[in-house]
Structure 1
């Protein structure tokens, strides 16, 4: 008896291992994937400019980083006792103008450095709804609680999204033509936009992504693939179905957080395991088991920390850690 519809998945080509260099950009769901990769000690950089919800925000960041266009005082503003930048998340906002500019420009350097050496880039798209300033007709990444009357809200068309993603891909390929693109649509429901509006937004993102991944302008020779996979981007791109897994495999509110909008920890773990199956090599998965054992060992709280048994436990843990670090010198615990 089958009590669940399941999305067929096939292992990807060019999988992630412990030599891979990863860059993760996008909505809050990419933060969950990034946290998992960080826990398992993969070499990754995650959202240097904080959460970016829509494709234009990601395009703007990539473009500025690759062109090395530094931020200046003209790019920031003061509101509610803090300095902000419309191209970055409020996590970067600061009470100091100089501190904000420093963090913004460090973020650009970090993004460019990782783009140049990245083997994989994970881009998670959250919404097609954007806010555009009435004063300059500029689409912002974050409104920073600027009064809503200062913005026009609009839905990016499929063509708008396709153009933005095409620009992002083209810019990245000017400095790294071998990078593996991994696209995914966030399963987080943006219900503040409205129920129908959220579905329309996700549909625009999905349609644009499929057009991009199937575009004859971007595809090289495409090998035969499983029906569960989207044809690769220049032989190196794929759409991972995190949104589809949430909607079709986890169709139950017990998989949502208390806000009934965000996936809960169980859902995140479920989707992570699917991601691991598709994208992480078997050799890396074996190393992940060792790292998980060490991580849990360090988190263990002993009732008798001075006991001989606990000291022996710590010595064994240290030996395991050093053995693993000999194989992977970049590991830090």
Structure 2
């Protein structure tokens, strides 16, 4: 007897290995997966503009990077003693206006380079709900805790999202037509929008993605993060204390499914070696000066040296 259903996931035709260069963009769940890639020492760049929740925000910054557009003083504003940009996360906000603009333009240049070299791009959409700045009539990526009366809240239609996805794919193909793009929908529940509204939002994302897949199947694929959380892990014990975000058990499980289907079998041995080294590095000895621990450290350094010689990009 089986007491749960497991979602069938096709194995990737372009799996990730240690020759891959990965760029991850999107919601906070993108960060969860990127942390796993970092832990196992894959080459991975995650959210250079901070966490981005909706498709239009991701598309806009990719357009800046691909088209070589520049941020100017007109793109930033002062609020609560810091300069902010509506197109990026508040993590990048700065008390100095010129430093913020310079930092944003530097990120644009580096993102273009990362996209040109990427073998895989992972995009995680979080929501279809967006906020439009009433003064400029522009949809923002982040409200930066500005009073809500300055914005109008609206739900992106399936058609709008689909067009944004197609634009995003076109932008990537302009600079890197061989890049494999993996789309996924974040399992994080946006209950502040409302219970029904959260499901509506996710449904629009999923519908738009699959309508796009019907038209373009060459270098894009879908990983069902949201579906795994909703179906395989349908229990509150898999949520963090806020009952909105997946807890570590859920993140580990979704990563396991990702590993099984999207990472090359040839990388598994190296992943195991890296994992053993990471566990050893976190080991806290009872007696750091004991002979046994000194031998342990010597063997550990030898293992690290072997891997770092084999993969020059790895640093422990």
**TM-score, normalization by structure 2:** 0.99
- Alignment match, 2:266: 283
* Structure 1 partner of 2:232: 249
| Cα distance in structure 2, aligned partners of 1:106 and 1:34 | 22
Q: How does 1:156-305 map to 2 (within 5 A)?
A: 156-215=156-215, 219=216, 232=217, 235-305=218-288
How far has the Cα of 1:251 moved from its partner? 0.5
Deviation larger for 266-275 or 167-176: 167-176
The whole-number CA distance in structure 2 between the counterparts of 1:42 and 1:293 is 15
How far 1:98 sits from its partner (Å)? Answer: 2.3
Asked if 1:310 corresponds to 2:293, the answer is yes
SS at match of 1:135: coil
Q: What's the offset of the Cα at 1:95?
A: 1.2
Q: After superposition, give the CA deviation of every residue in 1:75-99 in whole Å (9 maximum; x if it has no partner).
A: 1000001110000001101112122
Distance 2:100 2:281 in 1: 35
**2:100 maps to what in 1?**
100
Work out whether 1:111 is the aligned partner of 2:94.
Answer: no
Q: Which residue does the alignment assign to 1:224?
A: none
How far did 1:299 drift?
1.0
Distance across 2 between alignment mates of 1:39 and 1:70: 33
For residues 85 and 126 of structure 2, the distance between their equivalents in structure 1, rounded to whole angstroms, comes to 20
Report the secondary structure of 1:114's partner residue: helix
**RMSD in angstroms over aligned alpha carbons?**
0.8
SS in 2 for 1:214: helix
The runs of 5 or more residues in structure 2 that have no matched partner are none
Structure 1 segments of 4+ aligned residues over 6 angstroms from their partners:
none
Q: Which runs of 5+ in 1 are unaligned?
A: 220-231
State the distance in 1 between where 2:240 and 2:154 align.
28
Say which is worse superposed, 270-279 or 103-112, in terms of deviation.
Answer: 103-112
Partner of 2:41: 41
1:75 aligns with 2:102: no
Matched residues in 1 for 2:54 and 2:110: separation? 21
Q: CA deviation at 1:329?
A: 1.3
Distance in 2 (CA, whole Å) between partners of 1:152 and 1:285 is 48
SS at match of 2:23: strand
Separation in 1, partners of 2:163, 2:137: 18
- Which residue number corresponds to residue 225 of structure 1? none
Partner of 1:144: 144
The DSSP-based 3-state class of the residue aligned with 1:174 is helix
Name the residue aligned to 1:26. 26
